[in-house]
Amino acid sequence: MPHLDVPGASLYYETDGHISSPALLLIHAGVANLRMWDPQIEALAADHFVIRFDTRGYGQTQSQDVASSNRPFSDRADAIAILDHLGVARATLIGASRGGAISLDLALEHPDRVAGLVTVGSGPSGFPPTPLTEREGELFAAINAAEADDDWHTAARLEVTLWDVGPLRAERDLDPEFVSLAAALNRINAAHAHEKLSRIPLDPPAYSRIGDISVPTLVTVGEFDLSSELAHYEYLTATMPEASGYVFGDSAHLPSVEHPAEFERLLVDWLAENGL
C-alpha cells in the first residue's frame, strides 16, 4: 500500500487513471476517509489522474510515534507533498467538509498549484461562528460528553447522526445501506483518538480573502446539512468570483456518499464544461 513519509507522519494515498491526464486531488470529510470517494473513482479516472489521501488523524495515515503527533504541521503542506511526490504541478481540488476547507486554504497559499475547486458542505477557515439550533446543540453536547469519557466509538457514531443523518432527519427514514456505510467510513477514525495533532492554521484565514480565489469553483451542499454549512454555502457562492452552486436534495453532509450517481454526473459535467 503506498505511503509517503513526511516529518511526523506516513501519509496513505492512492492514485487512479493515467499520470498524463489532468489531475484531481480529492480530500475527504472529517467524518470519513479516502474510501468515501470510491463510487466516483472509475468515472473520474477515465479522463483524469485521480489522487486521494488520508489526512493526518484519519484512515490509514499514521503518526510515526506519539511524540511526533504533537509536532505542528500543515494539512496544506501534506497535500503539496503528495503532489510533489507524484510530479503534479497543478490539480483541481475536490474537498468534502474539512477537506473543502483545506482546499480553500491551499488555493490561497499556493494559487499556482490549483486549477479549479469543488467544495462539498465546506466553509472557509475563520468563518464567524453561527448559532446552533436546539437539536444541533444537543448532538454536539452528546459528542463532547462521549469524548470526555474517552468513548471514541460512541463519539464516532454520534458524529454520523449529527453530520451524515443530519439534525433535521431521522435515521429510520434513510436508506440503511447509506447509514451503515457512513458509520463504517467514520469508525476507522476512532483508532486515531490518541493522536494529539497540532495543525498550523492559514494566517490570515481564508474568510477575509475568499474573493481572491479566481479559479473555476463549484460549491455544493446538502439541503439538510447543518445550519453552519448552509451559511457557508451562501457566503461562498456570493463571494467567490468564479463560483457556481448546487444544492443536493434529500441529503445532509455527505451527498457524494448518499447520492453517488447524482454527485458523479454533476462533477463530471462541471469538469468538462470548465476544461478541467
**What pLDDT sits at residue 97?**
98
Q: Are strands 3-6 and 9-16 parallel, antiparallel or unpaired?
A: antiparallel
Amino acid sitting at position 114:
V
Per-residue pLDDT at 252 exceeds 60? yes
Q: Is the pLDDT of residue 229 over 70?
A: yes
Share of the chain above pLDDT 90, in %: 92
Domain limits, CATH 3.40.50.1820, in the chain: 3-129+194-273
Condensed to tens digits (0 to 9), the pLDDT of residues 139-177 reads: 999 999 999 999 999 999 999 999 999 999 999 999 999
CA 160 from chain centre, in angstroms, equals 15
Rounded Cα gap, residues 245 and 234, in angstroms: 9
Q: How far is CA 85 from the centre of its chain?
A: 21
Helices 260-273 and 38-45: crossing angle, nearest 10°?
Answer: 30
User: Which has more confidence, 191 or 262?
Assistant: 262
pLDDT digits (tens, 9 = 90+) for 74-124: 999 999 999 999 999 999 999 999 999 999 999 999 999 999 999 999 999
Averaged confidence pLDDT in the chain: 95
The yes-or-no verdict on residue 68 having pLDDT over 70 is no
What is the average per-residue pLDDT within 226-241? Answer: 98
- Planar angle of CA 32, 33, 35, nearest 5 degrees: 110
Rounded to an integer, what distance in angstroms lies between the CA atom of residue 236 and that of residue 182? 26
pLDDT tens column, 178-210: 999 999 999 999 889 888 889 999 999 999 999
pLDDT tens figures, 12-48? 999 999 999 999 999 999 999 999 999 999 999 999 9
pLDDT at residue 224 is higher than 90 = yes
Residue 27: what are its φ and ψ, rounded to 5°?
-120, 120
Asked whether residue 64 carries a pLDDT value surpassing 80, the answer given is: no
**51 pLDDT higher than 70:** yes
| This model's pTM is above 0.85 | yes
pLDDT-based confidence at residue 259 (cuts at 50, 70, 90): very high
Record the cell numbers describing residue 198, joined without a space: 497540532
Give 251's pLDDT tier (boundaries 50, 70, 90). very high
Cis peptide before 124 (omega within 30 of 0): no
Average pLDDT of the residues in 216-238: 98
pLDDT for residue 69: 55
- Rounded to whole angstroms, the Cα distance separating 28 from 121 reads 11
Specify the CATH architecture of the domain 3-129+194-273.
3-Layer(aba) Sandwich (3.40)
